[in-house]
Amino acid sequence: MRALVSVSDKTGVVDFARGLRSLGWEVIATGGTMKLLRESGVEVVNISDVTGFPEICDGRVKTLHPKVHGGLLARRDDPEHLKALKENGIGFIDLVCVNLYPFRQTIAKPGVKMEDAIENIDIGGPSMLRSAAKNWADVTVVCDPADYGQVLSEIRAGGNTEKTTRLKLSAKAYTHTAEYDAMIATYMRAQAGLDEKLFLEFDLVQPLRYGENPHQSAKFYREGSRTPYSLAFARQLNGKELSYNNIQDANAALCIVREFDEPFCVGLKHMNPCGAATGRDVAEAWTKAYEADKVSIFGGIVATNREVTREAAELMKPIFLEIVMAPKFSDEALEVLRTKKNLRLLEVDMTRGEEARKQYVSVNGGLLVQDLDAETRRVEPSMCVTKVRPAEAQMKDLNFGWRIVKHVKSNAIVVVRDGRTLGVGAGQMNRIGSAEIALKQAHAAGFTEGLVLASDGFFPFDDCVALAAEYGVTAIVQPGGSVRDEDSIRKADEKGIAMCFTGERHFKH
């Protein structure tokens, strides 16, 4: 029995090859793999001694040879195949152990040149994997070091791998080459300025109990590269398995948290914030967010951008919550919160860095792709369009409200004061409806003056400004851009309200 070993990722390969040799297998190797195995005391045969041809073109050509692919592809049950091998002096190759040049790692390097990327496109490796995978009935193909142990165990027990294992390894090899080729195609199309195809690669995180409703099946996948503010790479420290709706809501909460550098906390239900606030620390931010809407937070999700302390944990503990997310939990906080066995605690990487830049939304028979709405324009005094200018405290609330309203379902209106939400109007079919919800909510909480209002889209009429004045709003931020902007500006001047136009809307459908 013969094995051909040629790997870029050399994890575990010495022990694997040594194991094959101990079981009486001949091991053929190439280049750097051969050098490593020989230095480690493993007896191997140089690929050139098998092919009778040297490696050429700086190693670009070494395994593309009939004595390699004939030995892999020949069917053991076909007399004509066996005759062809005998006439050409070709021996069987019964196992291929190959993983590919590090193309992903190469193109991930800052400032990588195209010629470096090209040199890390593997040709012989995928060819051997595909040949071996095609002939899986007779040939074992191994592309993942995690499979070395099982392969050796089966050979040790029965002289060869089991047929069911070879089929699974074949499928795994084709998946490996498909992902590799898709990665290369995506890179090369980007260099050529082509966008007629879209290849997406996601790995299964876990099957979910069900989707949005119990009769819908669902699974959770993640992208290949690690991303901050991502639930897909979070570490669960306590609680039940996440559900489909949990994941949707938690992702929405993380998008809001990403807006803030100062201590911040948000409570969220059905992908809309029900309470959000900044504070001196996480305990104060939580308290302000909770008090913004004590009713809606029941069964909600909480996210903060600071380590959860014992003090904060003690404040959260009496409230029924589904999830608490933070960059870290103190040992004391975990001791407090883990007494609630079903409460999901998630540690999420919130370091500033390279974040996801594209957003994908499925529609019937298609996929929408857009740039993520990641940047938020800062509200500046120069954006004021009214005679009344916003005071310094109002500017802080205008910026706070503007960063929150972009994450509320359109039509969206948010009413804030002193760095916390007081009312949230979400997803109404007209903007005045959202404004009424948010303003009435603020009044019901006892806040009737000094309010600041934020709108994700422009006002088509002056009715929202008039209503805001009735409820004690003294400053407004909105994108502007309506043909009736002057009506809203006149109404704001009439009511003594400061209003800023950011020039950028934040619809969220």
Active site residues: 134, 270
Q: How many CA atoms lie within 13 A of 448 on its CB side?
A: 3
| Max CA distance (Å), the chain | 99
Rg of the chain taking only CA atoms, in angstroms: 31
Which residues are within 8 A (CB) of 17 and not within 5 positions of it... i.e. 6 or more apart?
3, 5, 27, 29, 37, 42, 44, 97
Cβ contact 62:30 at 8 Å: yes
Amino acid residing at 309: T
Cβ contact 465:486 at 8 Å: no
Q: Encoding tokens for residue 305?
A: 């951008």
Q: Encoding tokens for residue 483?
A: 């043909």
Which residues are within 8 A (CB) of 360 and not within 5 positions of it... i.e. 6 or more apart?
200, 367, 368, 369
Q: What ranges in 293-348 are assigned the alpha helix state H?
A: 310-316, 331-337
- Phi first, then psi, for residue 326 (nearest 5°) are -160, 160
Q: How many CA atoms lie within 13 A of 51 on its CB side?
A: 20
Angstrom distance (rounded) from CA 445 to CA 356:
37
Between the alpha carbon of residue 6 and those of residues 97, 116, 122, 131, 223, the distances in Å are: 6, 21, 12, 14, 27
Residue 85 in 3-state DSSP? Answer: helix
